[in-house]
Structure 1
Amino acid sequence: MSTLSTTLASTTAPRAVNGTPANGTPAKGAPSRNRMSQEIQGLRGMAALLTVVFHVWQQYFVYDRDGAHSPVPNRYANALVSLEVIDLFFVLSAYLLTLSYARAAIEGGSTRPGRVFLFRRAIRIVPLYFLAVTFIWATRNPTLPGEWSDLLHHLTFTQVFDQEQIFYTIGPTWSLSLEIMFYVALVGLGPLAVRACRPLRRRVSRVAVCAVGCALLYIGPCLWIAVARYGLEIPHTEWPVYFGPQARFGGFAAGMGLAVAMVALGDRGRLDAKVAIPLRAAALVGLYLLSYCGTEAEDFPTTFYHPLSALLWTLLLYSTIHVRRQGRWHSWLTARWLTGVGLASYSLFVWHEPIMLGLYNAGLLPPDGQEGFPLAVVIVLVVAVAAAAVSYWAIEYPASLLGKLKDGKGRSRDFYP
């Protein structure tokens, strides 16, 4: 996580000469490198907390036989609790990981070898994931052979392609399948973009090549969804069709496009408060309206919910971290309690659903329905956040130290004199 924050800072911060910013003394309130890292952490924390609320809502207002949710009686509240934030995770991930490739393609320079990138991504994702999946699967399959295909799909990150078992064991981890596929795609596409831009003398041409590539990666999933929904009339309950990379990579493409835009614009693209605040408000209102208007499973806002929400999250991210002066929004995002949640957001994401189901099955949550929902949210949040903090320091942090086994060129480090 700190590596990603460093990447962000080194790309977006003003260039310095002998330790002094190229444009002179920075203006009062200008974002610092550490501050931007904290804002990213705060956004992660916000997304993780909203994810917990969303899944408690799914538990309490359960699917009907057509795969739809019984809505919260208050439509305005229903739009708020049913707001999905998985696209924010995708946009954030793609933005941070694409920055180095965008900088190399547009500004020149080199990138780390693909094997180093994949090694460090594996260190970040795999240890906690494998431990959690194995533990939860074993508790739900106490006698062998159990659902071996389910375990195999999860350990190989292929559950997103299985209609029956996509949400088994730890339901939300279907999105990690897409994360892994994005890492592999980025290792291939990133160096390809760098090579394609290298012969181009004009900077605007290099920017155009990168921007067009991101646009094509975004348009592809939109076309797939349109054909599947309106051409082939495939129902939304065919999960692999609408949850697979062919449908959901638009979120990653939006994040990649943001990385290209940030590198291309540099400090010239920093927003004043009079522009950033309205853009931020527009993104938040748009996200809410997208959730509010998507009342039917097959209507337009629901069908194209994820490509549209990815664009809105991208707008919110840009108007948050690429500003000239900080304000109350930034102060809230960098609150210690929220950045603390962001630090353990991966653990919270992995463990919250098993914790919720365990509490529910043990009778420690209120009964189903709107009366029990608010208290259930509080209970699950308290228990899951505490468990995530323990998981981070006991599993995630020790595992992250393995990343020091290789240097930036992929060579094994020698820890002995």
Structure 2
Amino acid sequence: MDAERTSKKPVWPRRVAPFREQTQTVAVTARDGARIDQLTGLRFFAALLVFMSHFKWDNSWNIVGEMAQQGSIGVSFFFVLSGFLISYSYGWRLRSADISRAKYFALRFARLWPLHFLTGLPFAAFLIWKGWLSLPNYGVNLLFLQSWVPSTDWHYAYNGPSWSLSNEMFFYTAFIGLVMLGSRQKLWLYGGLVALVASAMVLVYTYIPTLNVGGNLPLAEWMFYIFPLFRLDEFLLGMIIFDLWRTGKFRASALSYVTIPLLLAAMYFGARFVAEPLLYHLYYTPFVALLLVSFLDGSSLPIRFFSSRIAVLLGEASFAFYLIHKPLVDIGERARHKFGLFPSDLVFVIVMLAICIAVGLATHLLIEEPVGRFLRQRINRMKFLNRARCP
């Protein structure tokens, strides 16, 4: 869900300049120097899909609610994109020992932990006030281990969307070993993981389709939507796409013009004919992969929109937006029903989107950026983290 900064060229409008130094953008840079800013802009689009899925849509057509519920594709996109961007930012550095494994892991942990802690703190404070805080539960959450526990009281605890950060930390850890594999080995491993997940789906839905474990949701949701090992195939797919793109022979510019809207339409309308277990993530994976490939060529007009300054700025703030949106949406839903506000779902969603974007941008510019810069500086000064092993 992120990438290291690779260029010192400032990309922000002058109006936000007073709030930050001239920091480097998260956009990927190709070997020929071409920037791929559109991948940064696309991150906000993925976060927006997740945002839309967290509304009830009670006063809208059924098809609107059905389409919004598929917003979990945004999570799949984040996982696949993460594999691509981490491969670009750290792949060669880890293989050549340009960076130590300890420093790599410290940088990844520092990237996710501050906002994770900040957005979960109000929930923890409330539980402390009520005398309900479980220290083991909170400790597991702070260490990004919550997704390994098959209980909604654990993996959805505190700030619910943060469960995906637990998966990301697992992916970052696994990357240390995965990056040493060749392209063919990654393909074999990817095929094995998909086969494992599909086989588990058949077994679970044949013998224990209604089993609940540690909460009011079925075990299947945890296994196929939350369980980090079963979502590793998406991160690995991003790594494979990067390997193909790196060769310079991977071109799919034709997808940029016509196929993207057709691709999304086929995905949304085809979902109603797909068995439920596949909707947890396997069904969406091919669409996500093709979408990512489409955006690797930024020459077409639709794709260039995602390279615009405002799109890149929103993409930079997408992590903060993703973590703060669910609590704000829940508060908004309660106020809406209590005071009878916004009878139109569409108007309510637009209002909440504006609020979440404003809070997300403020969080990114005033907290995420300065804290992240401070932590990176401290990590860079730690000599024991900078001792890379000999190649």
TM-score class, shorter: 0.7 to 0.9
- Whether 2:263 is the aligned partner of 1:283: answer yes
The answer as to whether partners of 1:91 and 1:314 remain within 8 angstroms in 2 is yes
The CA RMSD over aligned residues, in Å, is 3.2
Q: Find the residue that maps to 2:152 and give its secondary structure.
A: coil
- Whether 2:222 is the aligned partner of 1:240: answer yes
Q: Find the residue that maps to 2:315 and give its secondary structure.
A: helix
Q: What's 1:13 paired with?
A: 31
Q: What's 2:355 paired with?
A: 383
User: Could you list the per-position Cα deviations for residues 50-91 of structure 1 after superposition, in whole angstroms to 9, with x for gaps in the alignment?
Assistant: 22111123xx55xxxxxxxxxx76343233212222101111
Q: CA 1:230 to 1:88, structure 2 compared with 1: closer, same or farther past 3 Å?
A: same
Q: What's 1:314 paired with?
A: 289
Summarize the alignment of residues 394-413 of structure 1 with structure 2, pairs less than 5 Å apart.
394-401=366-373, 402-407=375-380
Q: What's 2:250 paired with?
A: 269
Unaligned runs of 5+ in 2: 8-25, 212-216, 387-391
Query: 1:316: Cα distance to partner?
Result: 0.7
- Whether 2:183 is the aligned partner of 1:183: answer no
The answer as to whether partners of 1:100 and 1:111 remain within 8 angstroms in 2 is no
The answer as to whether partners of 1:124 and 1:399 remain within 8 angstroms in 2 is no
Summarize the alignment of residues 59-208 of structure 1 with structure 2, pairs less than 5 Å apart.
60-61=57-58, 74-83=61-70, 84=72, 85-99=74-88, 109-110=96-97, 112-160=99-147, 161-165=149-153, 166-191=155-180, 193=181, 206-208=182-184
Letter in 2 for 1:118: F
Query: 1:149: Cα distance to partner?
Result: 4.6
The answer as to whether partners of 1:215 and 1:253 remain within 8 angstroms in 2 is no
Summarize the alignment of residues 353-368 of structure 1 with structure 2, pairs less than 5 Å apart.
353-363=326-336, 367=340
TM-score, normalisation: structure 1: 0.74
Moved more, 379-388 or 72-81: 72-81
Unaligned runs of 5+ in 1: 15-31, 62-71, 194-205, 295-299
Query: 1:258: Cα distance to partner?
Result: 1.2
Moved more, 383-392 or 232-241: 232-241
Query: 1:44: Cα distance to partner?
Result: 0.6
- Equivalent pairs: percent with the same residue? 19
User: Could you list the per-position Cα deviations for residues 184-242 of structure 1 after superposition, in whole angstroms to 9, with x for gaps in the alignment?
Assistant: 11123323x2xxxxxxxxxxxx4323322333334333333232223543557224323
Q: CA 1:379 to 1:278, structure 2 compared with 1: closer, same or farther past 3 Å?
A: closer
The answer as to whether partners of 2:4 and 2:89 remain within 8 angstroms in 1 is no
The answer as to whether partners of 1:54 and 1:81 remain within 8 angstroms in 2 is yes
The answer as to whether partners of 1:222 and 1:247 remain within 8 angstroms in 2 is no
Q: CA 1:258 to 1:286, structure 2 compared with 1: closer, same or farther past 3 Å?
A: farther
Letter in 2 for 1:211: L
Q: What's 1:66 paired with?
A: none
Q: CA 1:272 to 1:174, structure 2 compared with 1: closer, same or farther past 3 Å?
A: closer
The answer as to whether partners of 1:211 and 1:257 remain within 8 angstroms in 2 is yes
Letter in 2 for 1:99: Y
Alpha-carbon distance between aligned partners in 2 of 1:180 and 1:87, rounded to the nearest angstrom: 15
The answer as to whether partners of 2:253 and 2:294 remain within 8 angstroms in 1 is no
- Whether 2:217 is the aligned partner of 1:229: answer no
Q: CA 1:315 to 1:231, structure 2 compared with 1: closer, same or farther past 3 Å?
A: farther
Alpha-carbon distance between aligned partners in 1 of 2:112 and 2:231, rounded to the nearest angstrom: 20
Q: CA 1:123 to 1:52, structure 2 compared with 1: closer, same or farther past 3 Å?
A: same
Alpha-carbon distance between aligned partners in 1 of 2:293 and 2:84, rounded to the nearest angstrom: 10
The answer as to whether partners of 1:8 and 1:96 remain within 8 angstroms in 2 is no
User: Could you list the per-position Cα deviations for residues 120-155 of structure 1 after superposition, in whole angstroms to 9, with x for gaps in the alignment?
Assistant: 111110011112212232135423353445423321
The answer as to whether partners of 2:41 and 2:315 remain within 8 angstroms in 1 is yes
Q: CA 1:234 to 1:115, structure 2 compared with 1: closer, same or farther past 3 Å?
A: farther
Q: What's 1:50 paired with?
A: 49
Query: 1:95: Cα distance to partner?
Result: 1.3
Query: 1:395: Cα distance to partner?
Result: 1.6
Alpha-carbon distance between aligned partners in 1 of 2:115 and 2:108, rounded to the nearest angstrom: 12
Q: CA 1:100 to 1:173, structure 2 compared with 1: closer, same or farther past 3 Å?
A: closer
Q: Find the residue that maps to 2:268 and give its secondary structure.
A: helix
Letter in 2 for 1:245: P
Moved more, 126-135 or 357-366: 357-366
TM-score, normalisation: structure 2: 0.79
Alpha-carbon distance between aligned partners in 1 of 2:146 and 2:354, rounded to the nearest angstrom: 29
Alpha-carbon distance between aligned partners in 1 of 2:229 and 2:337, rounded to the nearest angstrom: 40
The answer as to whether partners of 2:87 and 2:242 remain within 8 angstroms in 1 is yes
Q: CA 1:302 to 1:210, structure 2 compared with 1: closer, same or farther past 3 Å?
A: closer
Q: CA 1:361 to 1:255, structure 2 compared with 1: closer, same or farther past 3 Å?
A: same
Q: What's 1:196 paired with?
A: none
Alpha-carbon distance between aligned partners in 2 of 1:408 and 1:278, rounded to the nearest angstrom: 49
Alpha-carbon distance between aligned partners in 2 of 1:122 and 1:375, rounded to the nearest angstrom: 38
Moved more, 237-246 or 180-189: 237-246
Alpha-carbon distance between aligned partners in 2 of 1:412 and 1:186, rounded to the nearest angstrom: 18
Letter in 2 for 1:288: Y
Query: 1:4: Cα distance to partner?
Result: 5.6
Alpha-carbon distance between aligned partners in 2 of 1:281 and 1:111, rounded to the nearest angstrom: 41
Q: CA 1:73 to 1:130, structure 2 compared with 1: closer, same or farther past 3 Å?
A: closer
Moved more, 246-255 or 170-179: 246-255
